[in-house]
Amino acid sequence: MENDTLSIDEHNIAHSQFTTYSYETDCFFDARLAFYFQIVQEAAGNHAAVRGCSIPTLHKEGKTWVITRSKIEVHRYTHWPEQVIVETWAQEPIRLHLPRVIRSFDEQGGVIFMAKTYWALIDLESGRPLRPTTMSERIGLPSPEMQMDLSLKARLTYEDSHCTTLVSYKPKIHYLDTDSNLHVNNISYLNWALESLPSEFRNRAKIAEADVSWIRQTFSGDDITVYTGCEDEKILFGDAGLLYHKIVRKEKEGRMTIVWEGTTRWEKRAVLRGIPS
Residue 88: enclosing H or E segment and its boundaries? strand 83-90
**pLDDT at 277 (0 to 100):** 42
**pLDDT at 204 (0 to 100):** 97
pLDDT in tens, 128-139: 999 998 888 899
Calpha distance 1→35 (Å, rounded): 9
Q: Which long-range contacts (CB under 8 A, 24 or more apart) does 232-237 make?
A: 233/164, 233/166, 235/166, 235/266, 236/166, 236/167, 236/197, 236/198, 236/201, 237/201
**pLDDT at 275 (0 to 100):** 56
pLDDT in tens, 220-249: 999 999 999 999 999 999 999 999 999 999
Angle at 31 between CA 22 and CA 183, to 5 degrees: 95
Calpha distance 103→96 (Å, rounded): 23
Calpha distance 33→113 (Å, rounded): 10
Evaluate if residue 1 carries a pLDDT over 70: no
For 276, the 3-state DSSP assignment is coil
**Worst-scoring range by mean pLDDT, 53-57, 116-120, 237-241?**
53-57
Domains (ranges, CATH) in the chain?
1-148 (3.10.129.10), 153-277 (3.10.129.10)
Calpha distance 77→29 (Å, rounded): 9
Neighbours of 20 (CB within 10 A): 22
**Worst-scoring range by mean pLDDT, 113-122, 153-162, 178-187?**
178-187
